Structures are given as C-alpha cells and as structure tokens.
Structure 1
Amino acid sequence: MNDLEAWVTAAGAEIGVPPTEVDTSAVLDVARDVAHQVLRPGAPVTAYLMGLAVGRGADPADVAARIRALALAWPHRAGAQPSVADPPTP
C-alpha cells in the first residue's frame, strides 16, 4: 500500500467512506486538469464540488468526465503560463 492508498483508507474510515468507493485516478486527473487549465486553487474546490454532486446521487464517472471536459475547454487567462500539458508553440 502506498502513501495515498493509506491516506484514503484512513481518511475514508474516519468519515465512513470505504476506499473501494474512491476512484483516486479520476479525482487526480480532474484536479490536474483544473489546476493546469483553469487555476490551481480550483483543484481542491472542484474535488469538493464533485463530492457534493456524487453525494447527491450523480454518477462519479460522469461527474469526472464532465468536469474534465469543462476544464480542458476552459480558455487560458491572458498572460497565464501554459501548463506542462500544453504542447510547445513553434
């Protein structure tokens, strides 16, 4: 078990969420895309929004896909540094 798995297991146990219900890859993918494409502080807030949506009955995979698509389509801010995921400009 790596550190992230240990944390998810311990934190989940603290609040009654089994680790099998946590798709860490999807959450990390969304957080990365929001942090790089929108703004860094948006990543944890978006993860919270996802949790609220799922807690209200939304499908976790659908929520992650919709948020990732929104983040990837988000226009770059003027003067913002490109993310590491952006291809270099020739």
Structure 2
Amino acid sequence: MSDLDAWIKVVGAELGIDPAEVPTGAVLGLAKDVAHNVVRPGAPVSAYLIGLAVGRGADPAEAVEKVRALALGWSGEQVETA
C-alpha cells in the first residue's frame, strides 16, 4: 500500500468515507491541470470547491470534468472586473 493509499484509508475512516469512493486519479489529474494552467494554490482550493459541490448534490465526475475544462482553457481573461 502506498503512502497515499494509507492516508486515504485513514482519513476516509475518520470521515466515514469508503476509500473505494475516492477517484484518486481524477483528483490528482485535476490538481495537475489547475496547478500547471492556472496557479498552484488553485489545485487544493479547486478540490475543496468540488467537494462542496458534491456535498450539495453535484455528480463527482461531472464536477471534476467541469473544473478540468475550465483549467485547461484558462487564460486569466475569464474573470470579469467589477
């Protein structure tokens, strides 16, 4: 078992989440895309935002793909100024 797998198992147990429910590859891929195309600190924050969305009923895979698409198309010009 890798350190990551062990961590997911322990944290999952603490939070009542089955490690089999954690799409590790998708989350890591998303983090890579956000970190490389947007900004590094955006990776964990994006994961948190997806967690909030899923907690409110969003489909996990769909949420990841939406954020991944945003990251891959990011130019910084998407933000409107007030």
Normalised by the size of structure 1, how large is the TM-score?
Answer: 0.81
Q: Are 1:57 and 2:57 matched, yes or no?
A: yes
CA contact (8 A) 1:27 1:47 kept: yes
Q: Distance in 1 between matches of 2:44 and 2:37?
A: 14
Question: Pairwise mapping of residues 1-90 of structure 1 onto structure 2 (< 5 A)?
Answer: 1-75=1-75
User: What secondary structure, in the 3-state scheme, does the structure 2 residue paired with 1:13 have?
Assistant: helix
CA contact (8 A) 1:30 1:68 kept: yes
Q: Distance in 2 between matches of 1:56 and 1:7?
A: 25
Per-residue deviation, 1:76: 6.0
Q: Which has the higher helix share?
A: 2
Q: Distance in 2 between matches of 1:76 and 1:40?
A: 14
Per-residue deviation, 1:2: 1.0
Percent identity of paired positions between Structure 1 and Structure 2: 62
Normalised by the size of structure 2, how large is the TM-score?
Answer: 0.89
Q: How many residues align?
A: 77
Q: Distance in 2 between matches of 1:56 and 1:18?
A: 19
Bigger Cα Rg: 1
Unaligned runs of 5+ in 1: 78-90
User: What secondary structure, in the 3-state scheme, does the structure 2 residue paired with 1:71 have?
Assistant: helix
What CA deviation, in whole Å up to 9, does each residue of 1:3-47 have, x standing for no partner? 111100001101111101100011101111000000000000000
Structure 1 vs Structure 2 CA RMSD: 1.3
